[in-house]
Structure 1
Amino acid sequence: MIRLLLSLIFTLLCGLCIAQENNLIVQVDTFESRIEVHEQDGVFQFKPILRPLVQIPGGRTPYYKYLWDFGDGHFSTQAEPTHVYAKPGQYEVSVYAVNNYDYGPKPKRPKKTIQIKSGSSAIAKVSPNYFEENFFSSNGIFQIYKLSDAKPGEDMQLVVGINTEGRKGKIFILSNEKVAGLDGFRYAYQSQYYKETIDSLVQKESLNSMWANVKQSTFTKTGSPDYGIKEVSTFSSSQQAINYFKNLYGAYNSIAAYDVDPSQSEKQFSLINLDVTENMLVDTNAIVTITGVFLPEDGIANVHQVDIPVVKSHDPNKMSVRPARMSYRFQSKNKTLTYKVQFQNDGEGDARHVRLEMFLPPEVRKETFRLKSLYPKCDTCATLNAMGCYQYYIKDNGTLVFHFKDIALPGTASKTLTDPDSSKGFILFEIDMEKKKFKNKSFQSYTDIYFDNNPPITTNISTSRFRQIWSPIVTIGSSATFGTPKEHTLKHQFKPGIQLGFGLAPMAPYKKPFWQVEIYSSFYNRESNTDLINEQGVIEVQENGRYMKYEYRAMDSTESRTFVSFQLPVQLRYNINSFISIGGGVSIRKDINTQASSTKNYYYLTAQGTEENVFTVENPTLLKENSSWKCNPFFDINVGKVYMGPALGFRVAYDKNQKTYSGIYGIWRF
């Protein structure tokens, strides 16, 4: 029976390991991807040949999103672009493709080498490059474009564009926000078509001198499409500029930098490839940010941020939240969450009505909804004579509804669509959590998206949670022993002792057991005695300089000892609610004798046998006698602010000498 049970356990463990391993397997595209090229009069037409898309059963129609790298510092997002090379040479063309709504693996990046023998005069025959012409929509100077959202285990592409306006300068790319707690992005590759000088060893100490020269900085932010956020900061002193950029840079763990030279080109585009690590799996459905900073020599800087949702699959209909992970210890009384709901019309015609029904957790106050940005851009329906407009309200069941009315959102299947991003929409909003202390658990949300009269599309579940951190614990209290325990013929009386200790446990676990470990010391006193017992023997007593032997008939003893006790309690605890916590475990204990006195009294008769005398003997070696190591089981209960803050504790333990002893103490969890 035992062998059968062990075999079953082994089989289950093997199956679990295989399942976990399979979850980490990244699908690989085995299709022979390639690029077809057609050239006529110096105009090159490119067409990608990628693996056929696989529609998810019952899902939306899948499609590819493209980023073409022509190998000369120019890019395009069209499906089948045309391009003309201005200078002779050899160029490597490649296309990055992202598979949306697709069931298969990410396609391989095909490459094609183009040989140009002489410069072309056919530039006028080529249609304008929509991607480059509309790149600087936020501020006209500096911007970052993302091809896709961040999917763990894959790579993602950024195009960083700069309109130098004849200015030299340095560009910084900041990634891996400290608030996320993970190094989710790894810098993999950057193009150098404009002879960019990449600084691989950015010295943070040298940044102060750069910041001090900045007179003005323009801040913009996008998330595909543009948020329309633009803020200009003017610095009256060098220190003010230093403080501004120090706070900005201090929010990130990773810095990449490169120099730009306007003599190469007025407008320059750099491709940066980032690997998205598996660590990001913990933050899927969260929003992370990458920040770009352009510091030119004239001190008129630009800061651009791009919001990047972390995803499990490339689906343009999505709900994301920021922060994805919060600090329970430093939560404010009125915590703010930032949500983004994004959607895309994949039909042939325009969507006239888009309704977002958002199911938010009960811990948020829906009446605090604050709209930050939206697309398509339109006014509130409260505006008189509003044509395309929006309105929002709370339904009786608590659902928050945001409704775009009488708009014209084009579909991806439209034959006249030139920019795939124009078929996307979003709302970005803030909402406050309840003012009372909330529990250390995750907060989940999702959205049903209705396009006109079509059935709803349900987004992912967006989760915001508290980071797993440790809680230091301080305890101070007193302990006492029940009754008068015995050890052989000794009866012990224990006087209450004082204890002071420290501990460590996970921060405010909710509805799950957790381990807690402590270390503390206490001081206590033990008074022991042996009652008068009839016992016969011989003692030797010194009288008048001579040793005399007498027979004693009875004896008793007393003993007083002061101990310092060191204990290491380890316990398993459970928070029943916000005010009661219980636990049980074992305490490893060592008692060290600091003060001791011991006497034995022997009762004997004199030689005449008429008068009883007492002979007292002291034990000088008692002070050196410490207790052996002990393991004391115990039960514990806390009442008060058991998640974080002060509480009152009561602990009952068992010891073979003290039998049952208990302590009452104050505890504070930080």
Structure 2
Amino acid sequence: MYYRWLLFTFCMLGCAFTFRVAAQSAPPVHDSIPAEMDVQQDENKVQIQAKLRPLRQIAGAPAAFYTYFWEFGDGKFSFDMTPLHTYRDTGEYNLRLYATNNYDDGKAPTSKPRRVKVKKKTYVASNGHQSNFFKTQGSIEMKINRMPRPGEEMVTIIGYRNQAPNGSGDMNGALVLFYNEKQFKTNSFDLADTRTYHGERNFSADSMFAMLANDNDYQLAGTYTRSGPHALPNVDPTRKAAFAQIIAEKQQTFKAQHIWRVENLAAGEEQFMFLSMNTLPEMIKDTNAVVTFSGMFVPEDPAKPIEQFDLEMQIVASHDPNKMQLKHRWMNYRFVSKSKELTYKVQFQNTGKGPAKTVSVGVRVPGMLSSNTVELVDYSPKCVLCDSAYDRQSCLDTIIRKDSIFFVFKNIYLPGMQQDGVSDSDSTKGFIKYRVRFNKELKKLPFYSQAAIVFDKNEPVITNRSYGRFKPGISIAPIAGYNILTGNESKDTLSPTVQRRQVTLGVAVAPFAPYRLYWQVEAYLNVHNKTQELTSVDNQRRDTAVGDRKYMVRSREHYTIREVASLDVVPVHVRYNLNRFVGVGIGAMATASISNKVSTKQIAYLLDAQDGSEHQFQSATPSKSDGFDIWGAAMFADVNVGLVRVGPSVGFRYIRYLQEPTNKFFIYGIWRF
């Protein structure tokens, strides 16, 4: 009996060890395995399913899953996992699949288009439009299959429609797309392919402006057009000029644009274009940055308004439907006021198998921001606020704490993405958009916010950190001061560059209003006193003559006159502001004379041989000028007192020269702008 138990124990340990070794040594699934499409075709009806590589779960993240985007090759599309599509006409169609790996650490699966041949129309295709595409009331809208990730392809869907009632005429116009914002140094996107299905064609900007009728065309006598009596409703005579101004503003914001001509858009009809955009590897890799596509729909009919739609996208390192973003996250501290509003957006999606009744979005508020200034801008799902809701009504509650905010959707129905019968993935998503202001004490330091999203009583889903940062900025500060030489050094032992100086003028360049260690560069022009030094005295008496008169030379004095201007350069200077009023720094300085003029002067004292009167005669030699001929190096430490970040302050600097043991104090005033 004992041996059986021992044998059983060894077997279990061996199995466990074998399993552990196998689990540890199993190689990860290669993320370059292409996606395949399984197409079940019945004449003009196709049932499609994707065959994808196993997911590679990100540790600590919710369960990984795929989302799907299908192009059927006839202008229709689907986000379903296994769509069923009926083609309206016979022909050959290119079926495309774009699968996105959420909470997966690999690359998105790639696939090639698959050709579908329809030879016979057996089934009647639906005449319905993609009515769930347009979430706003406009005539143009854009959507992407996934957020931009450097080095990955994404598809932009441009939808446009004619909202005129049935029976109205067809509509012509133009579509304009702007992308690659100038605020980023490198381009973010490259338009690789455009797939159109309704005769859209490339259009030039000149042709688009020519398409817009001149104002005079609609100021004819009466209310008649070329086609006969017809009242012109609400024609804006400045429409063309206003449109030109809008285009100019867009071109100042974006680097790239594309224009397409649209014709014969029937009343009530919706049409779609598909753009393959390569997200360039060299694009800004800041996963908190928000980039924008801006689209415009320009009807030819002057009675119809020109409409715009902006699509904001967050750059991601991996695909996650739950995220937080801050628009315009890089700010100029010089122009930021305490009343400036920051706009945050938290997006969430129920990826579960059932609906969520309660969704709680808890947001961390950085200490630099004031939670009491929170203002709700927009949210989804739409519902009333809880302070005006009746019992058990769907509502949104806002709970404000000192360092956090909670947005709680109560008594709602948010479907799960894996729930049976859910075909619209947008119905599983929601968002919170809010504004918040800075606190009174605004520091130039990076700050971040983060959200935790709880669906019912499940574990919280933690979003990315959304950082806000200030640009370094440049501060140029004029300096004026005076040097005091210390010690008992003789003037004869000092080089001209370290003599006592009356005036020192300079300028400093540093980051604007720093709150951390920072680098400061300085340059000074030192104006020295004109010095006259007695070099020798000759007391030997001798006779001489000046003109017709005779004199006796009593003595001669020889002087050296020196005029020096030097330049101090501070290439190494590290500073730190202890608080608003005191800052300290250490650094190194190099000194050179940029102008060193030397001349000699002789004064002769003569006695008149006739009357014994004393006379003085003076002669001088031309000066010699040398530049950059005297160099010196020094170390220093100093302290500033005053408004040391922005404004005036007083500095006290101790300087120690290296070549010659000379100490010097520099007292100066500085004003940082």
TM-score where L is the length of structure 1: 0.80
Distance 2:76 2:250 in 1: 30
Aligned residue runs from structure 1 range 183-582, under 5 A: 183-199=187-203, 239-262=241-264, 266-299=269-302, 300-385=305-390, 387-395=393-401, 398-436=403-441, 438-469=442-473, 471-483=474-486, 485-488=489-492, 494-499=500-505, 501-512=506-517, 514-530=518-534, 542-544=544-546, 558-576=559-577, 577-582=579-584
- In structure 1, the partner of 2:222 is none
How far apart are residue 49 of structure 1 and its match?
1.3
Q: Which runs of 5+ in 2 are unaligned?
A: 1-28, 165-169, 218-233
AA matched with 2:272: F
- In structure 1, the partner of 2:132 is 134
Distance 1:190 1:213 in 2: 34
Q: Report Cα offsets for 1:210-268 as digits up to 9, x if no partner.
A: 698799xxxxxxxxxxxxxxxx9988665555445544543333322222222699532
AA matched with 1:583: G
Distance 1:369 1:250 in 2: 32
Distance 1:209 1:328 in 2: 44
Distance 1:557 1:486 in 2: 20
AA matched with 1:411: G
- In structure 1, the partner of 2:47 is 45
AA matched with 1:333: K
How far apart are residue 167 of structure 1 and its match?
2.2
Distance 1:56 1:490 in 2: 69
Q: Report Cα offsets for 1:26-61 as digits up to 9, x if no partner.
A: x97321421111111321222111112233344322
**Worse-superposed segment, 501-510 or 170-179:** 501-510
**Worse-superposed segment, 630-639 or 380-389:** 630-639
- In structure 1, the partner of 2:640 is 638
- In structure 2, the partner of 1:168 is 172
Instruction: Describe the SS at the equivalent of 1:123.
Output: coil
Instruction: Describe the SS at the equivalent of 2:56.
Output: coil
Distance 1:658 1:497 in 2: 23
Identity between Structure 1 and Structure 2 (%): 29
- In structure 2, the partner of 1:122 is 123
How far apart are residue 603 of structure 1 and its match?
9.2
How far apart are residue 604 of structure 1 and its match?
11
Q: Report Cα offsets for 1:108-127 as digits up to 9, x if no partner.
A: 13321122335x25234x6x
Distance 2:586 2:602 in 1: 41
For the structure 1 residues 289 and 393, does the alpha-carbon distance in structure 2 shift closer, same or farther, using more than 3 Å as the test?
same
Instruction: Describe the SS at the equivalent of 1:78.
Output: coil
1:149 aligns with 2:147: yes
Distance 2:542 2:85 in 1: 118
Instruction: Describe the SS at the equivalent of 1:262.
Output: strand
The answer as to whether partners of 1:579 and 1:639 remain within 8 angstroms in 2 is: yes
AA matched with 2:376: L
The answer as to whether partners of 1:582 and 1:637 remain within 8 angstroms in 2 is: yes
AA matched with 1:403: V
Distance 1:116 1:567 in 2: 83
Distance 2:523 2:426 in 1: 59
Instruction: Describe the SS at the equivalent of 1:161.
Output: strand
1:90 aligns with 2:92: yes
How far apart are residue 372 of structure 1 and its match?
1.0
- In structure 1, the partner of 2:623 is 622
**Worse-superposed segment, 330-339 or 367-376:** 330-339
- In structure 2, the partner of 1:59 is 61
Distance 1:196 1:540 in 2: 111
The answer as to whether partners of 1:175 and 1:254 remain within 8 angstroms in 2 is: yes
AA matched with 2:457: N
Instruction: Describe the SS at the equivalent of 2:333.
Output: coil
The answer as to whether partners of 1:195 and 1:264 remain within 8 angstroms in 2 is: no
CA RMSD of aligned residues (A): 4.1
The answer as to whether partners of 1:489 and 1:530 remain within 8 angstroms in 2 is: no
How far apart are residue 88 of structure 1 and its match?
3.4
- In structure 2, the partner of 1:599 is 601
How far apart are residue 359 of structure 1 and its match?
0.9
How far apart are residue 398 of structure 1 and its match?
2.5
How far apart are residue 441 of structure 1 and its match?
1.9
Q: Report Cα offsets for 1:446-484 as digits up to 9, x if no partner.
A: 112122122222211111112344x14141413234257
For the structure 1 residues 263 and 318, does the alpha-carbon distance in structure 2 shift closer, same or farther, using more than 3 Å as the test?
closer
The answer as to whether partners of 1:636 and 1:650 remain within 8 angstroms in 2 is: yes
Q: Report Cα offsets for 1:616-640 as digits up to 9, x if no partner.
A: 8755243424451424324444334
Instruction: Describe the SS at the equivalent of 1:393.
Output: strand
Q: Report Cα offsets for 1:272-329 as digits up to 9, x if no partner.
A: 1222234555531343322111112124211011221222211112111122211222
- In structure 1, the partner of 2:35 is 33
Identify which of 121, 142, 158 aligns with 2:156.
158
How far apart are residue 550 of structure 1 and its match?
11
Distance 1:364 1:34 in 2: 49
How many pairs were matched up? 611
Distance 1:211 1:585 in 2: 67
The answer as to whether partners of 2:70 and 2:96 remain within 8 angstroms in 1 is: yes
Distance 1:214 1:571 in 2: 67
The answer as to whether partners of 1:653 and 1:662 remain within 8 angstroms in 2 is: yes
Instruction: Describe the SS at the equivalent of 2:346.
Output: strand
Instruction: Describe the SS at the equivalent of 1:410.
Output: coil
Distance 2:360 2:235 in 1: 37
**Worse-superposed segment, 305-314 or 566-575:** 566-575
Distance 1:262 1:423 in 2: 35
For the structure 1 residues 362 and 40, does the alpha-carbon distance in structure 2 shift closer, same or farther, using more than 3 Å as the test?
same
TM-score where L is the length of structure 2: 0.79
AA matched with 1:591: S
The answer as to whether partners of 1:179 and 1:325 remain within 8 angstroms in 2 is: no
Instruction: Describe the SS at the equivalent of 2:154.
Output: strand
The answer as to whether partners of 1:47 and 1:79 remain within 8 angstroms in 2 is: yes
The answer as to whether partners of 1:555 and 1:603 remain within 8 angstroms in 2 is: yes
